[in-house]
Amino acid sequence: MPEKAVDSEVVKSGEAPSEDDCSEEAKSEISESDETDTLSEFPDEILGDIPDELRETQPVKRSLLATISWAFGALLLLIIIAAQLAWFNRDELLLRYPQLDPIAREICDRLQCEILRYKDISSIKLLNRDVRNHPLYEGSLLVNATMANKAETIQPFPRIQLALFNPGGEVIGYREFNPEEYLDDSIDIPAGMMPELPIHFVLEVGGPTEGAVSFEFHFL
């Protein structure tokens, strides 16, 4: 009888582990493996199918060169925009800052453009005029007059047309004058007409002036 008891103990101690015990051990091993392994240890072929949101990523450091390049590009763009705005508003800028005039002239000489863009003929007013026979040339007229720019900004000097009429109101002669022809050499023509500044000019009119009893000025 004692021998049977011993055999029974041996059989119990040598029993194979149950399925539940194996399952628990496997779960424990998998859990420990999950804690030590990361996705970064898998080959790239496997990671390629995993969405970016699920990957373990490291913060990307922006290089100093890329930062400097971006900042320089942004600054250059701002400078270009500011230069364009200044150029399209150059009339007002030249009025506020006359010292910029030489720079504007040099740019226009290179680009073959006009320094002043604003032009409002209706704002140029004739302040006074005096028409008489020319003291040196018989049959000619000498005109002295003053005009002013009533606009709020600088504008180019206009061309001037003088028309002569006989007693019947018919035109018997007219002539157009460019700024170089009616302004004194001391006046800076490219600089334009400053607002509210009276400008004296002289016109010499030859040709068929006999019988002229009236005249008209037109700014063109």
Element of type H or E holding 174: strand 171-177
Q: Two tokens at 2?
A: 């004692």
pTM over 0.85: no
pLDDT in tens, 74-108: 888 888 877 777 667 666 776 677 667 777 777 77
Please state the domain extents for the chain: 121-219
Would you say 173 and 164 are in contact if contact means Cβ atoms under 8 Å apart?
A: yes
| pLDDT(136) > 80 | yes
Helix (H, G, I), strand (E, B) or coil at 44: helix
Q: Which of 167, 170, 162 is nearest to 142 (CA)?
A: 162
Structure confidence at residue 27 (pLDDT): 47
The CATH label, of 3.40.50, 3.30.460, 1.10.10, 2.60.40, for the domain at 121-219 is: 2.60.40
